[in-house]
DNA sequence: CCATCTTTGTGCACGCGTTCACAAAGGCAT
DNA sequence: ATGCCTTTGTGAACGCGTGCACAAAGATGG
C-alpha cells in the first residue's frame, strides 16, 4: 500500500519510508514492554521477534533514525523508546475529537490506549440531540453544532470519524474546514480531502472479506463453489511451496497489509 | 499479505496479488452502490473514481480475474458484482465468533455490515461469568467454556479477537486448536499462530501514531523545535470503567458502520 | 461493409520495500 | 594490548506493485 494517491511520491527528502513509519509503533510497543520489565538493552534479533518482524528489517528501519545501537551489545531500551517517541511526535500531547458516538464511537472513547500514547480525547461529538450532555467515558457528548468551536478552541488537528457512511463526507468537510489536517476514518466511504490533509481508513468489512478470500482458498481447493460449512479440523495446506524455516514451528505475522491507507 | 507464507510468485493461474485482493472489497462496495442505482455498466474510469483508485490499477486488478469487460463500453455491473463476490468467497455464508464482549466487542456485534456481506455472527463469547446469558446485539453472550463446542458445532473458521492484550494469545490458541484458521485481531499484541492460519490485525493506536508522525512533520516544518520533555515509562491505565455503549443507539437501515480498535 | 470512436487489456519501465550477506565496530577475556 | 566473539549498519540484489502508454477489440453510425 504505497502512497499511491494524490500525494507526493512520499519520498520526503528528510523522510523515513512509509513502511518504516508504520512499524515504529510496533517497535515502540515492544520496547515499552521491555522497559517496564527493566530490561536495559535488547538485540535486534530479540526485539524483532517481540515485534513480529525480521531482524534485518528492524535494523534497517532503525538505521533511518540514526545509529542508536552498540555493536556487540544491542540497543539501549530507554534511549530507543525516547527516540522513537520523539520521531513519532508522541512527546507532545495530541488532542483528538471523535465524531459519531454510536457503538463504535463509544468503544473508541473508552479505549485506554489513548492517553498512554500521547493522545487525549478533547471531545466527543454526535449529531443526535438526545445524546448531547450524556456522559460517555467520562466526557459529556457535545452536539455537532459545536464542532467548529471545539476544534479551534482546543487546537485539534486530528479527528476520528465514526459516523454512518452517509454522514462521513460532510463531517470530514467540516473537520477540515475547521482546521483538522489528519483524519482517521472508520466509515466505509472514500473521503475526498484537499491537498495537505492525511486520511487513514480502517474498515472491518474489508478485513473480513480479505480473510474470507484466503479462507475460501484454504477450504476449497478442489471443491466446486458449492456450499460447504463443514471445516475439516486438519486442513492440509498445500506443500507445493517451499517451507520457510519457521522458528519453533510457529510463525509470527511477518508481514501485513493494513487495511488503512493514505488517501 | 496478512498471509505471510503465501509465497507463490505466479505459480497458480489463481495467483491474485495480495494488493489486488485487498482492493476487491473496495470495488465491490462501489459496484454494489451502482447496482442499487440500477446502473447497467460502468467504465474503469468511473469505477476507479468511485473506489478512490487509479483506473489503470483497476483494470489491471480486474485482468487478474479474467476479461469481464467489453471494450468501448465498460463493465457489466451485475456480472462484476457476482464475479468479485465469488472470488472473495462471499457467495457462501461465513459464521464468525467474536471473543471479548467489552466496548469494542459489543460495537462489532452491532455492526450491520456483517450480514450484508456474507458474514454471520455465530456467537459472542466472553470470559466474564457475569456476562453470560446477557443479550448483546440480540445474541446471548456465551461463556468461554463453551468456546470449543461453539466452534465445532457451527463450523466456524473465522474468529474475531476483541479481548484485552493479555488474553489474546490464549484465546487465539484455543480458537486455532478448535479449528479456526482465520483470525482478525483487535488486541494490541503480536499473535503467534501455526502454519496455515491467517491473522490480520487492526490497531487503532498504531494508526493514530502514524497520523501523529505526519502531523508533526506538517506542523514542525516551519515552527521551531517545540518544547518537549522526555517521558520515561508511561503508566498504563488499566481499563476499569464499566461504561458500556448505549445499546439503544442502533444504526439505521443497512448502512455500514465499520469498527475497529484494540483492547 | 467500412470508418471512426471509445475503452479495455497489457507490455514495459520505474521505484519502493525486503532480504541477504558481510565488513566494521565494540565488548571482553586473557 | 591483542585476539576472539557478538551484533550492528548497510551495500546490493531481487521481487512486487504502480503507472504509463498504446495496440487490440468491440460498438456505433453512415
User: Residue A125 corresponds to which cell in the numbers above?
Assistant: 461529538
Strand C–CB A44 distance below 7 A: no
What local confidence, expressed as pLDDT, does residue B220 receive? 73
Cross-chain Cβ contact B196/A202 below 8 Å: no
Contact indicator for B134, B142 with CB cutoff of 8 Å: no
The pLDDT, as a whole number, for residue B179 is 98
Looking at residues A115-131, what average pLDDT do you find? 93
Residues A155-178 have pLDDT tens digits of 999 999 999 999 999 999 999 999
Q: What is the mean pLDDT of each run of 10 residues along chain B (263 residues)?
A: 33 75 98 97 98 98 95 97 96 96 93 84 98 96 98 98 97 98 97 96 95 91 44 32 32 30 28
What is the reported pLDDT for B14? 64
The arithmetic mean of pLDDT across residues A131-152, rounded, is 97
Tell me what pLDDT residue A96 has. 97
Give dist(CA B24, CA B61) in Å, integer: 8
For A128, A138, A145, A180, B45, the CA distances from A175, given in Å and listed in that order, are: 17, 23, 12, 5, 29
Put simply, whether the predicted model's pTM sits higher than 0.75 gets the answer: yes
Whether residue A231 is predicted with pLDDT greater than 80 in this model: the reply is: no
Interface test with A, best of B10, B19, B23, B25 (most A CBs within 10 A): B25
Task: Please say if the pLDDT value at position A137 is more than 80.
Answer: yes
What integer pLDDT is reported at residue A15 of this predicted model? 85
**Can you give the pLDDT at residue A14?**
60
pLDDT of B115 = 75
Give mean pLDDT, residues A218-233: 48
Which of A4, A78, A164 lies closest to B257 in CB terms? A164
Contact between chains at A253 and B2 (C-beta distance less than 8 A): yes
Contact B167, B149 (CB under 8 A): no
Q: Given B89, B246, B258, which is nearest A205 (Cβ)?
A: B258
Q: Which residue has the higher pLDDT, A135 or B13?
A: A135
How far apart CA B6 and CA B1 sit, in angstroms, is: 8
Q: What is the C-alpha separation between A70 and A42, in angstroms, rounded? A: 10
Strand D neighbours (CB under 7 Å) are: A 1-2, 4-5, 43-45, 55-56, 59-60, 62-63, 67-75; B 1, 7, 9, 17-20, 53-54, 56-57, 59-60, 70-73
User: Is a pLDDT exceeding 60 seen at residue A237?
Assistant: no
Which residue of chain A is at minimal alpha-carbon distance from B119? A208
Distance of B173 CA from D18 C1′ (whole Å): 38
pLDDT number for residue B232: 34
A32-69 pLDDT tens trace: 999 999 999 999 999 999 999 999 999 999 999 998 99
DSSP A113-149: TTGGGTEEEEEEEES-GGGTT-EETTEEEEEGGGHHH
Query: What is the average per-residue pLDDT within A213-227?
Result: 69
Of A32-41, A198-207, A254-263, B89-98, the poorest mean pLDDT is in A254-263
pLDDT at A94 over 70: yes
Output the average pLDDT for chain A.
Answer: 83
Contacts of B207 (CB under 8 A, 6+ apart): A184, A200, A202, A258, A260
Residue with cell 487465539: B172
Residue A10: per-residue pLDDT: 36
Amino acid at each position: 500500500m504505497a502512497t499511491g494517491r494524490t500525494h507526493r511520491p512520499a519520498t520526503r527528502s528528510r523522510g523515513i519510508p512509509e513502511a518504516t513509519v508504520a512499524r515504529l509503533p510496533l517497535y515502540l510497543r515492544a520496547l515499552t514492554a521491555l522497559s517496564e520489565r527493566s530490561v536495559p538493552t535488547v538485540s535486534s534479533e530479540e526485539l524483532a521477534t517481540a515485534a513480529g518482524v525480521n531482524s534485518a528489517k528492524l535494523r534497517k528501519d532503525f538505521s533511518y533514525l540514526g545509529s542508536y545501537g552498540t555493536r556487540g551489545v544491542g540497543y539501549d531500551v530507554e534511549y530507543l523508546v525516547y527516540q522513537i517517541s520523539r520521531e513519532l511526535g508522541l512527546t507532545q500531547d495530541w488532542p483528538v475529537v471523535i465524531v459519531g458516538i454510536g457503538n463504535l464511537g463509544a468503544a473508541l472513547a473508552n479505549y485506554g490506549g489513548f492517553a498512554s500514547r500521547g493522545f487525549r480525547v478533547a471531545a466527543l461529538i454526535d449529531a443526535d440531540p438526545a445524546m448531547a450532555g450524556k456522559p460517555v467515558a467520562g466526557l459529556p457528548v457535545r452536539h455537532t453544532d459545536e464542532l467548529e468551536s471545539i476544534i479551534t478552541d482546543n487546537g485539534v488537528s486530528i479527528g476520528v470519524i465514526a459516523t454512518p457512511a452517509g454522514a462521513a463526507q460532510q463531517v470530514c468537510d467540516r473537520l477540515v474546514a475547521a482546521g483538522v489536517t489528519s483524519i482517521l476514518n472508520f466509515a466505509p466511504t472514500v473521503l475526498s480531502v484537499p491537498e495537505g490533509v492525511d486520511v487513514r481508513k480502517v474498515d472491518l468489512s474489508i478485513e473480513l472479506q480479505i480473510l474470507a478470500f484466503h479462507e475460501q482458498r484454504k477450504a476449497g481447493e478442489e471443491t466446486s463453489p458449492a456450499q460447504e460449512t463443514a471445516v475439516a479440523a486438519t486442513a492440509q495446506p498445500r506443500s507445493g511451496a517451499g517451507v520457510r524455516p519457521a522458528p519453533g514451528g510457529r510463525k509470527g505475522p511477518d508481514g501485513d497489509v493494513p487495511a488503512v491507507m493514505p488517501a
